[in-house]
Amino acid sequence: MKVGLTGTTGLFGHGLQRVFSRDHEVLPLPHAQLDLIEAKAVFAALQDSSLDLLVHPAGIPDIDLCELESERCWNANVEATRNLCDAAKQFNFGMAFISSDAVFDGKKDTPYIESDPVNPPTVYGKSKVAAEELVKRVEKHWIFRVSVLFGPGKTNFVERGITKLRNGEEYVVASDQIGSATYTLDAARVIMQVCQTAPSGIYHLSNSEPCSRYELACEAARLAGLECSGVVGVPMDAMRRVAPRLKYSVMEMAALKQTSLRLPRSWQAALKEYVATLA
Ligand SMILES: NC(=O)c1ccc[n+]([C@@H]2O[C@H](COP(=O)([O-])OP(=O)(O)OC[C@H]3O[C@@H](n4cnc5c(N)ncnc54)[C@H](OP(=O)(O)O)[C@@H]3O)[C@@H](O)[C@H]2O)c1
């Protein structure tokens, strides 16, 4: 396949490029070369590209920034996706869009499945819902809702904590935020398989087994040979962050279970592999 890839300087884009380029011809579309908000530029870049598939993780994932700068967030997350969807329809390629567990309201206490109603309390979550709706109108489309990401290529929740602890600082995290965690390289492999073998639709995608942010940070510390006592769990409400966080956003991979593909390994096993690379 010839695969276009946005957001290649980002965390997930890095992992996707590493995985897809082993088996496919990848056309990177970094922000420095193409501003996805510019419709004409997007069309010009894609019209003679002969893509089979475009994988689109680009956007603004910073939930607080989105709350503070809603227009900027909407442009990067929704209007950019609209331009890519228009190009996909015009030039007849499939779209794989990276969405988020932030589309939910966090009020359930059992895992969310793909058909559960969305009801995001944040600008960021609303922008992901709006983008999903656009992607659904592309004939061949796959929407992957991922949760907190860790992996090579860019600082992330796990690496940030290990760096702080190694510097003798505390790592303050939410003690009551429960969700799923996603190793970018594992998720990228699944995306590559789904887009070649599975029907269009929404897919929840993370490593297996739920975890709290506190558990994730503590296990990362332990695997790095550090004391978990430096990880300080604080209730979300006491952290006074700009955008509300979801107390519970565990995702069940119900759609993936309907395919013949294997579910990703546990987050602990994936984390072990990743932390070993952070010497
Ligand atoms: N990070 C998480 O924990 C998390 C959790 C759930 C879902 N997600 C979703 O996963 C996806 C990837 O997240 P990430 O953490 O990899 O994000 P990231 O590291 O911030 O990367 C985002 C990428 O998008 C590019 N970009 C932003 N605006 C653009 C524009 N107007 N035109 C072209 N490129 C643009 C950025 O380029 P520049 O840096 O050069 O501007 C960057 O390469 C996002 O869709 C996010 O909503 C992330």
Q: Write the pLDDT tens digit of every residue in 62-115.
A: 999 999 999 999 999 999 999 999 999 999 999 999 999 999 999 999 999 999
pLDDT tier, 273 (very low <50, low <70, confident <90, very high otherwise): very high
- Most distant CA atoms of the chain, gap in Å: 55
Ligand 1 centroid to 38 CA: how many Å?
17
Total domains present in the chain: 1
- Is there a domain that residue 239 lies in? no
Ramachandran quadrant class, 243 (left: phi over 0; alpha: psi -120 to 50; beta: rest): beta
Residue 7 has pLDDT above 90, yes or no: yes
Take atom 3 of ligand 1 and give the residue whose Cα is closest.
148
- Is there a domain that residue 231 lies in? no
**Distance between CA atoms of residues 137 and 85, nearest Å:** 8
| Ligand 1 pocket mutation pick from 12, 99, 104, 191 by most atoms within 8 angstroms of CB | 12
Per-residue burial over 111-144, b if 16 or more Cβ lie within 10 Å, else e, is bbebebebebbbbbbbbbbbbbebbeebeebbbb
Q: Tell me what pLDDT residue 152 has.
A: 98
C-beta separation of 205 from 190 below 8 A: yes
Question: How is residue 112 annotated by DSSP?
Answer: B
Residue 179 has pLDDT above 90, yes or no: yes
Ligand 1 centroid to 138 CA: how many Å?
21
- Is there a domain that residue 86 lies in? yes
Q: Does the CB atom of residue 122 touch ligand 1 within 6 A?
A: no
pLDDT tier, 30 (very low <50, low <70, confident <90, very high otherwise): very high
Ligand 1 centroid to 87 CA: how many Å?
20
Q: Does the CB atom of residue 131 touch ligand 1 within 6 A?
A: no
Query: If you search the block for the tokens 């796959």, which residue do you land on?
Result: 142
pLDDT tier, 43 (very low <50, low <70, confident <90, very high otherwise): very high
- Is there a domain that residue 236 lies in? no
Ligand 1 centroid to 30 CA: how many Å?
11
**pLDDT tens profile 44-74:** 999 999 999 999 999 999 999 999 999 999 9
pLDDT tier, 236 (very low <50, low <70, confident <90, very high otherwise): very high
% of residues, the chain, pLDDT over 90:
99
Q: Is the dihedral of CA 83, 86, 92, 98 positive or negative?
A: positive
Q: Tell me what pLDDT residue 227 has.
A: 93
Q: What is the pTM of this model?
A: 0.98
Euclidean distance between the first and the last CA atom of the chain, given in angstroms as a whole number: 35
Question: How is residue 266 annotated by DSSP?
Answer: B
Ligand 1 centroid to 15 CA: how many Å?
12
Q: Does the CB atom of residue 151 touch ligand 1 within 6 A?
A: no
Residue 16 has pLDDT above 90, yes or no: yes
> What angle separates helix 213-223 from helix 157-166, to the nearest 10 degrees?
50
- Is there a domain that residue 277 lies in? no
Q: Does the CB atom of residue 274 touch ligand 1 within 6 A?
A: no
C-beta separation of 42 from 84 below 8 A: yes
Helix (H) or strand (E) holding 74: helix 70-74
Quick one: which atom of ligand 1 is closest to the CA of 9?
43
Pick from 247, 231, 238: nearest CA to 172:
231
Beta carbons within 10 angstroms of residue 269's beta carbon: 15
What is the mean predicted confidence (pLDDT) over 167-189? 97
Q: What CATH number has the domain bearing residue 13?
A: 3.40.50.720
Ligand 1 centroid to 56 CA: how many Å?
9
Burial of residue 260 (number of CB atoms within 10 Å: 0-12, 13-18, 19+): exposed
**Distance between CA atoms of residues 257 and 263, nearest Å:** 7
Take atom 40 of ligand 1 and give the residue whose Cα is closest.
31
Give the domain extent around 68: 2-155+181-207+250-264
Beta carbons within 10 angstroms of residue 273's beta carbon: 14
- Is there a domain that residue 83 lies in? yes
What is the mean predicted confidence (pLDDT) over 268-276? 98
Take atom 48 of ligand 1 and give the residue whose Cα is closest.
61
- Is there a domain that residue 133 lies in? yes
3-state secondary structure of 222: helix
**pLDDT tens profile 114-150:** 999 999 999 999 999 999 999 999 999 999 999 999 9
Q: Tell me what pLDDT residue 137 has.
A: 98
| Ligand 1 pocket mutation pick from 18, 55, 56, 60 by most atoms within 8 angstroms of CB | 60
Ligand 1 centroid to 150 CA: how many Å?
13
Residue 279 has pLDDT above 90, yes or no: no
**In residues, how long is the chain?**
279
Ligand 1 centroid to 27 CA: how many Å?
17
Q: Where are the beta strands (DSSP E) in 57-140?
A: 94-100
- Is there a domain that residue 96 lies in? yes
Question: How is residue 51 annotated by DSSP?
Answer: -
**pLDDT tens profile 140-177:** 999 999 999 999 999 999 999 999 999 999 999 999 99
Beta carbons within 10 angstroms of residue 47's beta carbon: 11
Quick one: which atom of ligand 1 is closest to the CA of 100?
7
C-beta separation of 10 from 57 below 8 A: yes
